[in-house]
Amino acid sequence: MDISAPLRLRVDRDALVANWQALDRLSGRAACGAAVKANGYGLGATLVAETLADAGCRDFFVASWAEALALAPLGLSLCVLHGLRQEDMAAAKAGVARPALSTPEQIARWRESGGGACDVMVDTGMNRLGVSVDAVAEGLLDGLEIDTLLSHLACADEDVPMNARQLAAFAGLKGRTTARRMSLANSAGIGLGEDYHFDLTRPGLALYGGVPRPDMAAHLRQVARPEAQILQRRQVPAGETVGYNATWTAPVETQVAIVNLGYADGYRRALSGLGVALLEGESLPVIGRVSMDLTAIDVSARPDLAEGDWLAMDYDLAQASTLSGVSQYELLTGLGQRFGRG
Ligand SMILES: *Cc1c(COP(=O)(O)O)cnc(C)c1O
């Protein structure tokens, strides 16, 4: 039996493609790839990768080998950003993806297994994953067949001196390895300008409608919209309260729709009393606490709405992030498993 879910995530494929095309243009001469880790930032990795591959995207980045295996049927060029554990060897040797080797141990493991095309992550100051610039200068990568040499920016969404320092450290490795390509910029890094683009950029957030730097907003469109079905419409008399801890009291008699969406679906509790549903340009406010599975909306302005109707939540990421204090990344990747997606 197939039961349709009472909540769905609308993924605007045209907007996704338009965002990739915009980021590709902004990347200048560099190719533009796509970070599709964390299930395509919550939108569905297969849907996203298929859509972008059709649009001409050629390089895809995931975090883990499990994520790479899930995309293997698509036959894409994949890079696993989190390197190569012993446990990953079989998948790597089967050619599912290229590992982004990030420690001397991983490099030794790859060489011992016979090597082949790989990527390498270099740490230029973030102190997260990657081999040191000094180790590369001293020959750690000599003889390795490197497709792409990667590094990652810690603060590309800010204008701080660290960006230029990381850029200089990475640029200093040009010509030092056999790497066919170099790649530094995430979404925000694309906005830092041409010097940061190298041969390949790897945006994630901006593909999905997140705005990493205000100056990029004009190029990007919203991609993800959560929608939920109304389970009950009720009339709340003046003076009565709605929801957990009775945080909202009806100032006047109010028409309330209870929709099938809550923080377990990624519609964050921080949007309590702040979020809105959007209907034909009209904003319908969220009232009271967002519950785990339910949210109350003031629908007094819309007598036509009834049990079974659908409401689309406003999910402009930059705006929702400012309102809720939750990062745009978390607003996307937290979108839950209960949505019908598409
Ligand atoms: C997640 C990630 C990206 C994409 O970053 P966004 O900020 O979402 O554009 C690129 N490179 C690496 C190494 C990452 O971990």
205 lines ligand 1 (CB under 6 A): yes
Q: What token pair was written down for 279?
A: 């209907």
Q: Is the pLDDT of residue 8 over 90?
A: yes
Which of 180, 208, 236 represents a domain boundary (last residue)? 208
- Beta-carbon count within 10 A of 281 CB: 5
Which residues are documented as binding site for substrate? Answer: 128, 292
pLDDT at 98: 98
The mean predicted confidence, pLDDT, of the chain is: 97
81 lines ligand 1 (CB under 6 A): yes
> Which atom of ligand 1 lies closest to the CA of 212?
7
Q: Is 3 contained in some domain?
A: no
259 lines ligand 1 (CB under 6 A): no
pLDDT at 341: 81
How far is Cα 210 from Cα 187, in angstroms, rounded to an integer?
A: 9
The mean pLDDT value for 284-289 works out to 98
Considering the domain architecture, whether residues 193 and 236 belong to the same structural domain is answered as no
Q: Is 8 contained in some domain?
A: no
One-letter amino acid of 33:
G
pLDDT at 2: 76
Considering the domain architecture, whether residues 42 and 186 belong to the same structural domain is answered as yes
Q: Is the pLDDT of residue 277 over 90?
A: yes
Does 244 qualify as catalytic in the annotation?
yes
Q: Is 77 contained in some domain?
A: yes
Condensed to tens digits (0 to 9), the pLDDT of residues 114-123 reads 999 999 999 9
Portion of the chain with pLDDT greater than 90, in percent: 98
For residues 313, 316, 317, 320, the Cα torsion angle rounded to the nearest 10 degrees is -70
Q: Is 218 contained in some domain?
A: no
**What domain range includes position 323?**
224-341
CB-based contacts of 210, cutoff 8 Å, min separation 6? 187, 220, 317, 318, 328, 329, 332
187 lines ligand 1 (CB under 6 A): yes
- pLDDT-based confidence at 85, cuts 50/70/90? very high
Condensed to tens digits (0 to 9), the pLDDT of residues 292-335 reads 999 999 999 999 999 999 999 999 999 999 999 999 999 999 99
pLDDT at 121: 98
For residues 267, 271, 274, 279, the Cα torsion angle rounded to the nearest 10 degrees is 0
Residue from 41, 93, 208, 244 carrying the catalytic annotation: 244
**What is the count of structural domains for the chain?**
2
Considering the domain architecture, whether residues 165 and 285 belong to the same structural domain is answered as no
How far is Cα 271 from Cα 64, in angstroms, rounded to an integer?
A: 31
How far is Cα 8 from Cα 261, in angstroms, rounded to an integer?
A: 9
Considering the domain architecture, whether residues 113 and 162 belong to the same structural domain is answered as yes
Considering the domain architecture, whether residues 128 and 238 belong to the same structural domain is answered as no
> Which atom of ligand 1 lies closest to the CA of 329?
8
Q: Whose CA is nearest to atom 4 of ligand 1?
A: 204
Query: What does the chain come to in residues?
Result: 342
CA of 14 to the centre of ligand 1 (A): 22
pLDDT at 125: 98
Considering the domain architecture, whether residues 94 and 189 belong to the same structural domain is answered as yes
Q: Indicate which CATH number applies to the domain containing 148.
A: 3.20.20.10
For residues 234, 239, 245, 247, the Cα torsion angle rounded to the nearest 10 degrees is 100
Cβ contact 209:224 at 8 Å: yes
Q: Is the pLDDT of residue 342 over 80?
A: no
The mean pLDDT value for 199-221 works out to 98
Q: Which of 53, 6, 19, 49 is nearest to 223 (CA)?
A: 19
How far is Cα 329 from Cα 125, in angstroms, rounded to an integer?
A: 22
Considering the domain architecture, whether residues 295 and 174 belong to the same structural domain is answered as no
pLDDT at 1: 72
Q: Is the pLDDT of residue 103 over 90?
A: yes
Cβ contact 41:205 at 8 Å: yes
Portion of the chain with pLDDT greater than 70, in percent: 100
How far is Cα 240 from Cα 294, in angstroms, rounded to an integer?
A: 18
- Beta-carbon count within 10 A of 75 CB: 8
Considering the domain architecture, whether residues 164 and 228 belong to the same structural domain is answered as no
One-letter amino acid of 268:
R
Residue from 37, 41, 267, 315 carrying the catalytic annotation: 37
Considering the domain architecture, whether residues 182 and 82 belong to the same structural domain is answered as yes
CA of 245 to the centre of ligand 1 (A): 39
Candidate of 32, 43, 59, 81 to mutate for ligand 1, largest count of ligand atoms within 8 Å of Cβ = 81
Q: Is 23 contained in some domain?
A: no
Q: Is 192 contained in some domain?
A: yes
pLDDT at 184: 98
Q: Burial level of 160, CB count in 10 A (0-12/13-18/19+)?
A: exposed
pLDDT at 174: 96
The mean pLDDT value for 178-193 works out to 98
pTM of the model: 0.97
Q: Is 39 contained in some domain?
A: yes
Condensed to tens digits (0 to 9), the pLDDT of residues 22-42 reads 999 999 999 999 999 999 999
How far is Cα 1 from Cα 133, in angstroms, rounded to an integer?
A: 56
Q: Indicate which CATH number applies to the domain containing 291.
A: 2.40.37.10
Q: How far, rounded to the nearest angstrom, does the alpha carbon of residue 75 sit from its chain's CA centroid?
A: 21
Which of 174, 208, 242 represents a domain boundary (last residue)? 208
Q: Is 2 contained in some domain?
A: no
What φ, ψ does residue 35 adopt, rounded to 5°?
-85, 120
- pLDDT-based confidence at 249, cuts 50/70/90? very high
The mean pLDDT value for 91-99 works out to 97
203 lines ligand 1 (CB under 6 A): yes
Q: Whose CA is nearest to atom 10 of ligand 1?
A: 186
- DSSP, collapsed to helix, strand or coil, labels residue 262 as coil
Considering the domain architecture, whether residues 79 and 106 belong to the same structural domain is answered as yes
Which residues are documented as binding site? Answer: 128, 292
Which of 184, 208, 232 represents a domain boundary (last residue)? 208
- Beta-carbon count within 10 A of 222 CB: 19
Considering the domain architecture, whether residues 202 and 258 belong to the same structural domain is answered as no
Considering the domain architecture, whether residues 228 and 202 belong to the same structural domain is answered as no
